[in-house]
Amino acid sequence: MPRTRHLTLATLLLTMTRAADSQQPPRPTTLAHRSTVYAPHGMIATSQPLATAAGLAVLARGGNAVDAAVTAAAVLNVVEPQMTGIGGDMFAMVWSAKDRRLYGLNGSGRAGSLMTRDALLAKGHATMPQESVEDVTVPGALSGWDALLRRFGTVTLAQALAPAIGYAEGGFPVTPIITAEWGAEVAKLRKDEGARASYLVEGSRAPRPGEWFRNPDLARTLRLIAEQGIGELYGGELGRRIAERVRALGGYLTVDDFKSHRPEWVEPIAVTFRGYRVWELPPNSQGVAALEMLKILEPFDLKGLGHNSAAYLHLLIETKKLAYADIARYTGDPAAMSVPTGSLLTDAYAASRRALIDPARAADRPAPGKPLTASETIYLTVADSSGNIVSFINSLYDAFGSGVVVPGTGFALQDRGAGFTLEPGLPNTVAPGKRPFHTIIPAFVTRPDGAGGDAPWLSFGVMGGSMQPQGHVQLLLNLIVFGMDLQDAIDAPRFRHLEGRRVALEAPITDAVRSALAALGHEVTSEAAVAFGGAQAILRLPRGYAGGSDPRKDGMAAGY
């Protein structure tokens, strides 16, 4: 279908939607609002105030953005334990002011050497198990923290871990949203001896809002790492204990899997959108989905459609379906991919996918295209006075990951292996030593510096599994197309496409828009149990920084 017809039908739909809007009382138009934070020297935004404060203190005493990022990430291991920790994986992008370029780090771990498709099938699994010890892969986060500090930091790992050790040992009051998420996992935590001891008050319940919580086992683990180095986990006694416990419970890790783990420096990938260069990390992450969505959306008059109108949301939802069909088929561990990532981001491929969008009807499950060959989480971002900026994400996959805590260690092991598929012959088919498909994606945006190079403009992320690429695109369009203030762009109501024709919309999106989407064939589901992500962002100003933090989380942005 020609693009002009797309736009004509979409404009007609927009007119009908606006007419319907005038006949119904609107829902609230915004979420609870915060002001954008402005600061002259440095900025940090995280999902928990104590982590923000710890990172800000590092900046204020002369540390750089990487120092502050690792410090904050370690604190989040303690104060937001359902989302993150050294039992999980991480990815990061670092803008080096000295080098005037962007670096990427893949700190994800691999499947254990005993994790085979045959082994899983022999246990009766038709699909990958969920939230199970069988999903535990090598945790890569700690190696990533160490790699960042060694290459760009000015403090030692021991110094970066110190505030986290203090909170784990001395305790802290738990914040309300974290308490609610913690409480939802009590049944899961009760199933595991180590999880009960580490994370349940009196072995039976989650902490209440404002209740003091300590994790002395985690304090001892972090102190051991501070004294002995990351080798304690990657081949040392700590790694041996974890491997043996995982094997005893039916998992697939060995000590040698820990010994052979290495983080990897990678080249970020990018597309140009409305004069900006949007950067993501390459597979095994899903960042390519956000870039493909932007390529498909580039020619449309998005502003003319109207922010969060039915026509606008329909277009974004259909675009998301196409991009996700492609990543499900073509992405995974790069070593197993036969289709180069760049082939999904060409103008010709984007045009072929764009042509499949029907402006008058929701698609069910689009098939992947035919390119030419040649997801739980914390996100934080930090910028320092020298112009260094870090976009950083760390995750356990599900809340408290697998739900397995090796007794005495104080941290949960991720279940990232659930990201594999048992379907044979795909880049993401489970296999020993393979990196699973990852939902966690840090993002970065640059723009021309006037001298033939790039200048940093925005560091951001949106936590939340498959919400992340669609959240990235919505946030970027709010800023670039609609010209919103940074915090307004974060606060604006979001959609989350789930599967098939099912989509959830945040409460402020009007009933008229919901009805119009339903008329197009979308199944608008209840938003009550749906998470719409949690964003953090830092915007580079001509002088200083602007920062924003999502009201959907307990976090905050702060600067100096």
> Could you read off the pLDDT of 31-76 as tens digits, one per residue?
567 899 999 999 999 999 999 999 999 999 999 999 999 999 999 9
Confidence of residue 368 (pLDDT cuts 50, 70, 90): low
Q: What share of the chain in percent tops pLDDT 90?
A: 81
Calculate mean pLDDT across residues 261-265: 97
Per-chain mean pLDDT for the chain: 91
Distance CA 88, CA 476 (A): 27
Mean pLDDT, residues 514-528 = 94
pLDDT at residue 373 greater than cutoff 70 = no
pLDDT the model gives residue 342 = 86
The amino acid occupying position 543 is R
User: What pLDDT does 11 receive?
Assistant: 47
Would you state the pLDDT for residue 283? 87
Q: Tokens standing for 308?
A: 């969060």
Q: How confident is the model at residue 18 (pLDDT cuts 50, 70, 90)?
A: very low
Q: Residue 32: what pLDDT?
A: 60
Give whole-number Cα distances, 188 to 104, 191, 463, in Å. Answer: 34, 6, 22
C-beta of residue 380 within 8 angstroms of C-beta of residue 55: yes
pLDDT in tens, 189-243: 999 999 999 999 999 999 999 999 999 999 999 999 999 999 999 999 999 999 9
Amino acid 15: pLDDT: 44
Judge whether residue 424 has pLDDT over 70. Answer: yes
User: Which DSSP string do the residues of 153-198 spell out, in sequence order?
Assistant: -SS-HHHHHHHHHHHHHH-EEPPHHHHHHHHTTHHHHHTSHHHHHH
Per-residue pLDDT at 148: 98
Nearest to 309 by CA among 489, 487, 473, 517: 517
Amino acid at 540: R
- Taking a C-beta distance cutoff of 8 angstroms, is the pair 148, 468 a contact? no
Confidence of residue 444 (pLDDT cuts 50, 70, 90): very high
Amino acid identity at 43 = M
Q: What is the structure's pLDDT at 376?
A: 64
Cβ–Cβ under 8 Å, residues 458 and 479: yes
The whole-number average pLDDT for the span 484-505 is 95
Amino acid at 219: A
C-alpha to C-alpha distances, 349 to 234, 238, 355, 369, nearest whole angstrom = 42, 47, 10, 8
- Report the SS3 class of residue 98: coil
30 a catalytic residue: no
Which of the two residues, 24 and 190, has the higher pLDDT score? 190
Q: pTM of this prediction?
A: 0.91
Per-residue pLDDT tens over the stretch 451-463: 888 999 999 999 8
How much of the chain is in helix, strand and coil states, percent to nearest 5? 40, 20, 40
Tell me, letter by letter, the H, E, C secondary structure of 460-487: EEEECCCHHHHHHHHHHHHHHCCCCCHH
- Is 552's pLDDT higher than 50? yes
Which one is catalytic: 179, 319, 377, 381? 377
H/E run at residue 395: strand 389-395
Q: 231: helix, coil or strand?
A: helix
Give dist(CA 68, CA 70) in Å, integer. 6
pLDDT category at 336 given cuts 50, 70, 90 is confident
Orientation of helix 287-297 relative to helix 347-354, angle to 10°? 70
Number of H helices, E strands in the chain: 19, 19
- Report the C-alpha gap between 60 and 57 in whole angstroms: 5
Query: What pLDDT shows up at residue 5?
Result: 38
Q: What is the pLDDT of residue 167?
A: 98
pLDDT, mean of residues 467-478: 95
How many other C-beta atoms are found inside a 10 Å radius of the C-beta of residue 142?
Answer: 30
